[in-house]
Amino acid sequence: MKRIALIGMPNAGKSTLFNRMSGASAKVANWPGVTVDLLSSKLLLAGEMVELVDLPGIYDLHGFSDDEQVVRHFLANNTVDLILIVANASQVDRQLSLTLQLKSLDMPAVLLLNMADEAKKMGITIDADKLSAELGYPTLLLSAKYGQGYAEAYKSIETTLQHSQVRAAQSLEKDFAIDQAMESELEAIIKNSVDFPVQAANSVTSQIDRIALHPVLGLPIFFGFMFLMFQAVYTIGGPLQEATAWLLETFRDIALVPLLSSLPPLLNGFLIGGVFDGIATVASFVPIIIVFFLFMAIIEDSGYLSRAAFLMDALMSRMGLDGRSFVMLLMGFGCNVPALMGTRTMRSRGLRLLTMLVIPFSLCSARLQVFVFITTALFSPQHAPIVLFSLYMMTFVIVILTALLFKGRFNSQEPFALELPPYRLPTTRQMILRGWHEIAHFLKRATKFITIGVIMVWILTNMPFGVEPASTASWSGIIGEFMSPILSPAGINPELTVALIFGFVAKEIVIGALAVIYGLEGSALMAGIAEQIDWVQAYSFMLFTLIYTPCLSTIATLRAEAKSSWFAALAVVWPLTLAWIISAAFYQTARFLGY
């Protein structure tokens, strides 16, 4: 099977093109000489199956960041039949340097100048035929986002692939003399093939940036947008969550209960009260998570996220971090794991370790499920978004505190450079794919951590035989009572304690665990919890959930990325200690004030 490698600089639209070509068939794979997993997909090209591999975005083949090393190792240890080079057409003068480096490897390649629509709006004219003649590569203009020029690019890829010959892996050692010659060649190619206007025509972006990047108003505007996003999540996602919960409850009562009524009581309780109720309670909040990520997709793909990083850089630099660290924190809102892997672009090990230490404090989608559940149960619809936003702000308070405490140990002098792309909105297709990816992520987690977790919780709450489920005589009750002296100062009762313990495995299990422990589902579960705890205990519990030890997959990623067991241990012990201190301080202070 022939193999195609997709290579390009960061923010060139490489991932958008990969998603368009692969659809929903992408999978994660590991490769010889590469210490990280890469996305790959099998495609039908020119009548045969071809494997497309998405490599990390890089600026330079001779760079020293982890991502650049991954690309070098991949090319040196794996057979590649064709390279697809993706470059941002609106920045073609800066992005062709990587193309010339790849050309020196004497490998078949196709150059795809993406975002051609944006280049045209900016008044940039590119003669693709001249550029192709200068480089010796087929060169095509396209917009991966809108699909413009995609058919022509596909044909060129098929033709080039049919005539390609396998090249042996080559040494990629740095040669400064060659690099200097490439710079001169690049200057000549751009002069002959590209026409830049005297002043780029992008007045809309400039006008928006006058407000968005305002030194005084910029940050309040950003956090205002984030507050409105959480308000919209409740306004739109709330009814969807209730409808999903109603459908699951109806299915349970009408179909599942009669179907399993003939089973022995213990097995019936296991399948309905354990497995189904636990997973269904978690699943009912998936619509809210999808809505949340649709809004996050708009923020990320619009280019506003880069502006937020720019605005936050001055503050972050005082804590030993930089604007990229802020971007990774926001990426952690989806999942901490890819955010941790995204730190590979940082060349300074100190900066990277400090960033990885604070990323797990991000309010990830798994924690968001817990917080939406608790706030819906204990707070009014008017107060719930405010409570959720306060937890979002608490993320930054904890990050600042942690960074200030540990920046002396993880020093960095790496300069911060950031591209500010023009403003753009994601397409409907991109939004649908983003939502689908979140559903697929949930289904993957449900088949592993969540199912196993709720089964284990059911066993703990129903064993030994003969005891009342979730009573103090059950295994879960014994564990909760044993941990009570430790967590009671934070107002966390034995039932919540057991749920937190399983949250070590995956935060999604927390809601499912509560459903199993209380033997209730949906609105009945919310009402049951609201009868046992008040808003002070609820907020303390959410603070603890926000801060304490990240899930197992995050810990494993921390260990692999840092290549240090000591650092992984720090990333476990410090959040756990901080969670107890802050939750207990909040709870005791609130009680002292009479709440």
Q: What is the pLDDT of residues 207-233, one digit of tens each?
A: 888 888 888 888 888 888 888 887 887
Break the chain down into helix, strand, coil percent, rounded to 5: 65, 10, 25
Tell me: the pLDDT tens digits for 29-41?
544 444 456 778 8
Look at residue 176 in the predicted model and tell me its pLDDT: 42
Report, as an integer, the average pLDDT of 303-315. Answer: 80
User: Is a pLDDT exceeding 50 seen at residue 484?
Assistant: yes
Average pLDDT across the chain, whole number: 82
Helix 286-301, helix 218-251: angle, nearest 10:
150
Write down the pLDDT at residue 172.
Answer: 53
Per-residue pLDDT, 182: 67
Residue 173's pLDDT is what? 53
pLDDT of residue 322: 83
User: Looking at residues 244-269, what average pLDDT do you find?
Assistant: 87
In the predicted structure, residue 386 carries a pLDDT above the cut 70: yes
pLDDT at 76: 82
Q: In the CATH scheme, what is the homologous superfamily, with its name and number, of domain 2-195?
A: P-loop containing nucleotide triphosphate hydrolases (3.40.50.300)
| Domain boundaries along the sequence of the chain | 2-195, 220-592
User: Global pTM?
Assistant: 0.68
Q: Average pLDDT, stretch 510-519?
A: 82
Quickly list DSSP for 472-539.
Answer: TTSHHHHHHHHHHHHHGGGT--HHHHHHHHHHTT-TTHHHHHHHHHHT--HHHHHHHHHHH--HHHHH
| Local confidence band at 49 (pLDDT 50, 70, 90 cut-offs) | confident
Mean pLDDT of 496-516: 83
For residue 116, name the pLDDT band (cuts at 50, 70, 90). Answer: confident
| pLDDT exceeds 50 at position 50 | yes
CA proximity to 375, closest of 222, 533, 550, 520: 533
Q: 3-class DSSP state for residue 460?
A: helix
Q: How far is CA 315 from CA 216, 312, 382, 396, in A?
A: 13, 5, 32, 11
At 13, the pLDDT band (50, 70, 90 cuts) reads confident
User: 458 pLDDT band (50/70/90 cuts)?
Assistant: confident
Cis peptide before 220 (omega within 30 of 0): no
Lowest mean pLDDT among 52-56, 174-178, 187-191, 288-292: 174-178
Contacts by 381-384, CB closer than 8 A, 24 or more apart: 381/234, 381/238, 384/234
Q: 71 CB contacts (<8 Å, ≥6 apart)?
A: 7, 55, 56, 58, 61
Residue recorded with tokens 């993880």: 410
pLDDT digits (tens, 9 = 90+) for 133-177: 888 889 999 887 777 888 888 888 888 888 776 555 555 555 444
pLDDT at residue 236 greater than cutoff 90: no
Tens digit of pLDDT for each residue in 69-109? 788 888 888 888 899 999 988 888 888 888 888 888 788 89
Kindly state the average pLDDT of the residues 102-123.
85
Distance CA 301, CA 293 (A): 12
Q: How high is the pLDDT of residue 175?
A: 47
List the structure tokens of 30: 């590991």
pLDDT of res. 498? 85
pLDDT digits (tens, 9 = 90+) for 337-353: 878 877 876 777 888 89
pLDDT at residue 120 is higher than 70? yes
Q: What is the pLDDT of residue 548?
A: 92
What's the pLDDT at 584?
Answer: 95
506 class by beta-carbon count within 10 Å (0-12 exposed, 13-18 middle, 19+ buried)? buried
191-208 tens-digit pLDDT: 788 877 755 555 677 788
pLDDT 10s digits, 390-409? 998 899 899 999 999 998 88
Q: 414 pLDDT band (50/70/90 cuts)?
A: low
pLDDT for residue 26: 54
> What are the Cα distances from residue 252, in Å, to 10, 60, 124, 256, 443?
47, 56, 60, 5, 19
The pLDDT value recorded for residue 361 is 92
425-440 in b/e form (b: 16+ CB < 10 A) is ebeeebbebbbebbee
Is the pLDDT at 28 greater than 80? The verdict is no
- Average pLDDT of 423-433? 74
What DSSP element (H or E) covers 109?
A: strand 109-114
